[in-house]
Amino acid sequence: MDSKRIVSIIGTGSYVPERVLTNQDLEKIVDTSDEWIFSRTGMRERHIAAPEQAASDLGTEAAKKALEDAGVDAEEIDLLIVATLSPDMFFPSTACFVQEKIGAKNAYCYDLGAACSGFLYALETARAQIACGAVETALVIGSEKMSTFLDWEDRTTCILFGDGAGAAVLRSGGEGRGVMESVMGSDGSLAHLLSTPGGGSRNPMTHEMLDQGMQYLQMQGREVFKHAVKRMTDAVLSALEKNGLSTDEIKCFIPHQANIRIIDAISKKLGVGDRMYVNVEKYANTSSAALAIALDEAVKDGTIQKGDLVVLTVFGGGFTWGANVLEWGK
């Protein structure tokens, strides 16, 4: 097996639910305003899944679009990974539900949990599997129904998130350098700063837990902001150094779409100006789906073209973070 095989993204796709929840809509739910939300987050609206839609349903729609874009049949998929923190259920994995929905009967499937960093972690996992020759074709999905885990009476968190999914098809071969190796990291000592503490084996579902709101996402925003900026900036610089590149050579930087202030701070530290891709205004933070949706949009709107060097970077609960570089070959 050739451990240095080129691995390329040959198709992307994304999907967001039909319902749009604007800042004006939120004004009717919690004590906030459009001006307050936009000035602090850069968000105008977010998409909210229908009650009958689960993460696998959103992921399935994104997957179908990515497969169509790649010109690949579902039966050609060897590996299917779904990055999510809002799975359909604890088990079976959401990836298995997606497999059944799209007919990827020859794939082995599993979920990956790295919160908002999930899509990049899954991308690197698939890249490594293809590069070492274990599989030929992989489907990677980031899919979230964040609205299920939000306290809609907490204005500090409910305004920040939305639902959606994005997907990418990876295959061996292609022109250029393809998807290059990632730089990733974690710090479990800071897990308490961003988490959903209830519902797992430490705090099983009880009436008391529900009364305390432990089933909802909880975040210490200022601390998260500080660590997100530092970790993503450092990860980008490390990934560039690892691959022998400089910021000047990169056509497009796509960060996790968490907050416009975080994105602006990273852009300033890196000195990359308007090369930072932003769509947080339309979707808010869709966790593991955010990077995947942004990548698909950047490709489809022509921001990324064949031969361009692109940097992806993420940060999420755990804490988890990472960055990688890819040369777009499609």
**How do residues 50-61 score in pLDDT, each as one tens digit?**
999 999 999 999
**How do residues 271-314 score in pLDDT, each as one tens digit?**
998 999 999 999 999 999 999 999 999 999 999 999 999 999 99
Q: Report pTM.
A: 0.97
Q: What is the pLDDT of residue 175?
A: 86
Active-site amino acid positions: 116, 256, 285
Type of residue at 302: G
Structural tokens at position 37: 């939300």
Residue 160 has pLDDT above 50, yes or no: yes
**How do residues 116-140 score in pLDDT, each as one tens digit?**
999 999 999 999 999 999 999 999 9
SS3 290: helix
Residues belonging to the chain: 330
SS3 46: strand
- Helices and strands in the chain, H and E counts: 10, 13
Mapping DSSP onto H, E and C, the string for 1-22 reads CCCCCCEEEEEEEEECCCEEEE
Spatial contact of 98 and 109, defined as CB atoms under 8 Å apart: yes
Residue 170 has pLDDT above 50, yes or no: yes
Q: What mean pLDDT comes out for the span 91-103?
A: 98
Residue 313 pairs in a beta bridge with 255, 323
